[in-house]
Amino acid sequence: MKKGIFIGLFLLPVLVLILWFTPSSEAYPAHSGSTFRAGQLKNARVKKAYQLKWNSIRKKLAGLDVDSSSFKIFIRAFKQEEELELWVKSSGAQKYVLYEKYKICASSGTPGPKRCQGDGQVPEGFYHISVFNPASAYHLSLGVNYPNASDKAFACKPDPGGAIMIHGNCVTIGCIPLTDEIIREVYVMAVEAKDGGQQKIPVHIFPARMSSTNMAALKRTYTDAAVHKFWNNLLPGYEAFESKHVVPSVSVNAKGLYVVE
């Protein structure tokens, strides 16, 4: 009898540890999607992010009436306010709804576009996620496609810079850093969107929330006429989403200017 009690006391902590590290039945989405998520889950950081975040993500999406088995996301960042917004919609829906606002936890440079390697600037413009890095030196990273066609048209030559990321670890020289806790959630959302078929996740980066009051104040502080012209070129894209919560189609013309279609 004593031997049985001893064995039971020995096995109890082992059982607790097994249960602790075994993900619940809801730790991962039920739908199969493509192989993209499966590849990402081979990385321990991504697997842990799902274990920590998927249950709460699923519940929050349900509260927004968004289908957690098939959704798209849109990211906006505002440099002056140091905020990153994550918007979401079911794949069959037209309009996005706001999922969350997050604090950007470090910054570099000033309002205005990035033009050169080493200038410390965070880009401004219309981008999409082009890189998923689950083994980043900054915990988890989502790369944006800077320099795009507009950036290349106006960049200092020959090197406009690159490797602009949304990442963890709260340090930056030209990137958009979030806490590790926040990047886990954003990264999982991005993986799910891509796994569900969203080929390009749009990322719009602005100097500030582009109200007339904000921009008038910003232009009084930063007086470069070329930068003002650039901001005026961003404004239609900002206003298009603000008015309808539908991500506009944005192209770049032969002069390197953005055109909202």
The verdict on residue 65 lying in a domain is yes
The verdict on residue 198 lying in a domain is yes
Residue 167 known to be catalytic: yes
- For residues 28 and 54, the answer to whether their CB atoms sit within 8 Å is yes
Strands 202-206 and 71-78: parallel
Q: What is the pLDDT of residue 107?
A: 87
Q: Strand, coil or helix: what is 101?
A: strand
Q: What is the pLDDT of residue 171?
A: 87
Among left, alpha and beta (phi > 0; psi -120 to 50; other), residue 91 is alpha
Q: Domain residues for 131?
A: 33-260
Give Cα separations from 143 to 132, 187, 190, 202 (angstroms).
6, 11, 11, 11
How many domains is the chain built from?
1
Residue 204 known to be catalytic: no
The verdict on residue 22 lying in a domain is no
The verdict on residue 241 lying in a domain is yes
Q: What is the CATH number of the domain that holds 123?
A: 2.40.440.10
3-state secondary structure 124-165: CEEEEEEEEEEEECCEEEEEECCCCHHHHHHCCCCCCCCCCE
Distance of alpha carbon 152 from alpha carbon 148, whole angstroms: 6
The verdict on residue 10 lying in a domain is no
The verdict on residue 13 lying in a domain is no
| Structural tokens at position 181 | 């806790």
Q: What is the pLDDT of residue 168?
A: 95
Choosing from 31, 175, 204, 245, the catalytic residue is 175
Instruction: Provide the residue-wise pLDDT of the chain in tens; the chain has 261 residues.
Output: 555 544 444 555 544 444 444 444 466 675 545 689 999 999 999 999 999 999 999 999 999 999 999 999 999 999 999 999 999 999 999 999 999 999 999 888 899 999 999 899 999 999 999 999 999 999 999 999 999 999 999 999 888 999 999 999 998 888 999 999 999 999 999 999 999 999 999 999 999 999 999 999 999 999 999 999 999 999 999 999 999 999 999 999 999 999 998
Q: What is the pLDDT of residue 35?
A: 87
Angle, CA 132 vertex, CA 31 and CA 135 arms, to 5°: 105
| Structural tokens at position 191 | 């993986």
Q: Say how many C-beta atoms besides its own lie within 10 A of residue 231's C-beta.
A: 22
Q: What is the pLDDT of residue 44?
A: 97
Question: If we measure between CA atoms, which residue out of 83, 162, 91 comes closest to residue 130?
Answer: 162
The verdict on residue 23 lying in a domain is no
Q: What is the pLDDT of residue 1?
A: 52
What's the pTM value of the predicted model, to 2 decimals?
A: 0.88
Choosing from 139, 167, 204, 245, the catalytic residue is 167
The verdict on residue 172 lying in a domain is yes
Q: What is the pLDDT of residue 157?
A: 82
